[in-house]
Chains A and B, each alone.
Chain A
Amino acid sequence: MTLTAYIEGIGLLGPGLTDWPTSQAVLGGQQPYRSRKTVLPSPALLPAAERRRSGAIVKLSLATGLEAIAAAGLDAASLPSVFSSSSGDGENCHAICEMLASDDRQISPTRFHNSVHNAAAGYWSIATGAMTTASVLSAFDASFGAGLLEALTQVVVDDTRAVLLACDTAYPEPLYSARPIPDAFGIALVLAPQRSARALAQITVDLTDAGADRLDDAALESLRIAIPAARGLPLLCSIAQRQDKHLVLDYLDSSRLAAAIALC
């Protein structure tokens, strides 16, 4: 059983990748990839109080999601959303665990509400005014694949456009040693059920037993392995290379995603 949708907009932010338009030459192989620490923009769309309280995962989600939706020429408030992350805000989690292990356990209200896995979805809804459904997922290293499947089933079954926001941020030490995600990385995709003039590529996905594709560039391949959301990079590379392609994207230990990309 395959799932087919059309990619109408792409958002990208990660180490050495500042947005989708300027990253295409790198992902397409025309320019070398140079890793540089991810710079997260301040989320201008949020009211001032929320902006002050927002952590890295919120900034990353807003930046990538809004980029994809703007590129597709759509209104964020109209789109159902799928947020998929290995975990919530790492810095915030560290701060809470540190306080709870101390003599003073009175964590702040902001720390607590930022600790929920759906913090990014909540801030997104406040920023965009979207009262649509938001699916908020985690599948550890399989989070990109899980998010893509959820977004595709939403598009196909409910016959609606949807935005996928696959984002991960770093844990500080000592958690970093236990979960070494080195930096922030996010991919957002606007997916549509029908082909329109905006469509960049058609994507058709099925489950497969085949092993996941690796990237040719060693530095990009280590990025793909290091951050769960970057497991989606082969998909963006194939679009950047302007090539129809059959890919295998990483997912669970028991199955991967076979993705056929056909440019529109």
Chain B
Amino acid sequence: MNLLWLSHFTATSSIGRGLDQTLTALRQRSAGLAPCAFETVDLATFIGEVAGVDAVQVPSRLADYDCRNNRLALLGLTQDGFAEAVHAAIVKYGAQRIGLFLGTSTSGILQTELAYRRRDPASGALPADYIYGTTHNTFSVADFTRHYFGLTGPAVVVSSACSSSAKVFASARRMMAAGLIDAAVVGGVDSLCLTTLYGFNSLGLISEQACRPFDTQRNGISIGEAAAFALLENTPEHLDADAVLLLGIGESSDAYHMSSPRPDGLGARMAMQDALQMAGLRASEIDYINLHGTATQSNDAAEGKAVHSIFGSGTPCSSTKGATGHTLGAAGGVEAVICALGLQHGLLPAGLNTRQLDPTLALDYILENRARSVTRVLSNSFGFGGTNCSLVFGRAGKP
């Protein structure tokens, strides 16, 4: 494939606003998970809530878009000079030559959940101030973002559950390669809502403790929220050694079950193999794997099997969901940014909360940070409905 350059990127999650706070949290091994006190939720679980989302004010011209998900999007877009980078790209390429590809699973559904508490007792009607299209609708976060920047090129939301903001890289790559656009804003935004908290609870998939990926005692996820973005451009002739490139993408479907991964990990294996093949790399050339690692019994078992079948036990890997929680449709984007930070700063981030590694999952799962030069990494994102996506990122300069 044509290598794509992540010329700017940023992430905001429960471990920090923007890159500096995120990197510091990873280095200090501090988690953003805390007992759930979100809204009126009465579940005994831990969540990764982003502080200050309610205080974010969307510009008055975009007032119709006001909801938690778009506030979180705006909070994320305004970190690390990302918004300025998009404005500069508009000057460079033209607003119609920049594509927008954002992942989300639940978008602004919280707005509808709250509106349903205020229905007219006689007619059942939703309150007059409720606006569906610019808040709840799945596309709302991309529509908000394109109007915020004045982008006029192709725009879409990818909503394939927890692989959403990994798969945005695939859609952006294809549209750039087709020549329809010169650059792409990609990313993911997912925010806390009752549907996912009570929904994952109904499946018995949320933990009452901070999630413990790949632990023998793992018993479910901790739901988080996040906004992560990257600006993708074609690779210029000269790049700094620590520039981050997208080297390969693999996508597959499980064809197995709506809410459980294939136990043999075949779908996950296909995605990883395709990503390596597109990157032209052997498994041994990958320095670190950011696992999907949700801390459910079935995900970690299937993913562990799949990773082992390709990489053996020698490749350092971890899930950063013990720090951020599972940010669902934003997870692929957040973990892409964590991989980019790892490449630039020579950091393999440890998995948090894991006390006793599951001995049946024979991986080099790292429980302490490792500082070393990192050249190529792979990030896994899998989701409900059996949707799988693996991304390979690399440093422009060899060590």
B and A form one assembly? yes
Instruction: Give the B-binding residues of A (Cβ under 8 A).
Output: 1, 3, 50, 53, 77, 86-88, 93, 96-98, 100-101, 105-109, 111-119, 121-123, 125-126, 128-140, 142-143, 146, 149-150, 152-154, 156-158, 173-175, 177-179, 207, 252, 254-255
Q: B337 an interface residue at 8 Å Cβ cutoff? A: no
Give A175 to B387 CA distance when docked, in angstroms: 29
* Inter-subunit contact A119/B258 (CB<8 Å): yes
The count of A-to-B residue pairs whose CB atoms sit within 8 angstroms is 224
Q: Give min CB distance, B77 to chain A, whole Å.
A: 19
Q: Give min CB distance, A212 to chain B, whole Å.
A: 16
Known: A113-B259, A138-B137, A153-B174. A131 touches B202 (CB 8 A): no
* Inter-subunit contact A121/B152 (CB<8 Å): no
Give A133 to B387 CA distance when docked, in angstroms: 8
- CB neighbours (8 Å) of A106 from chain B are 198, 202
* Inter-subunit contact A136/B387 (CB<8 Å): yes
> Contacting A131 at CB < 8 Å: which of B203, B266, B384, B385?
B266
- CB neighbours (8 Å) of A137 from chain B are 156-159, 171
Given A97-B113, A115-B195, 10 other A-B contacts at CB below 8 A?
A105-B194, A108-B202, A121-B160, A122-B253, A122-B258, A132-B253, A133-B252, A137-B157, A179-B137, A255-B96
20 A-B residue pairings within 8 Å (CB atoms): A1-B179, A77-B255, A101-B119, A111-B202, A112-B198, A123-B385, A125-B255, A136-B160, A136-B164, A138-B137, A139-B155, A142-B139, A150-B175, A153-B175, A153-B180, A157-B177, A174-B126, A179-B133, A254-B153, A255-B153
Known: A116-B385, A126-B258. A101 touches B117 (CB 8 A): yes
* Inter-subunit contact A112/B203 (CB<8 Å): yes
Known: A100-B194, A112-B200. A175 touches B255 (CB 8 A): no
Give A93 to B130 CA distance when docked, in angstroms: 16
Give A178 to B199 CA distance when docked, in angstroms: 24
Q: Main SS of chain B's interface residues?
A: mixed
Give A98 to B177 CA distance when docked, in angstroms: 44
Q: B267 an interface residue at 8 Å Cβ cutoff? A: yes
Give A140 to B194 CA distance when docked, in angstroms: 23
> Contacting B156 at CB < 8 Å: which of A100, A123, A146, A255?
A146
- CB neighbours (8 Å) of B194 from chain A are 100, 105
B residues contacting the other copy or chain, number (CB 8 A): 70
* Inter-subunit contact A100/B113 (CB<8 Å): yes
**Nearest-neighbor residue (CB-CB) of A85 within chain B:** B138
Among the interface residues A1, A106, A137, which one has the most CB atoms of the partner chain B within 10 A?
A: A137
Give A93 to B137 CA distance when docked, in angstroms: 11
Give A133 to B116 CA distance when docked, in angstroms: 36
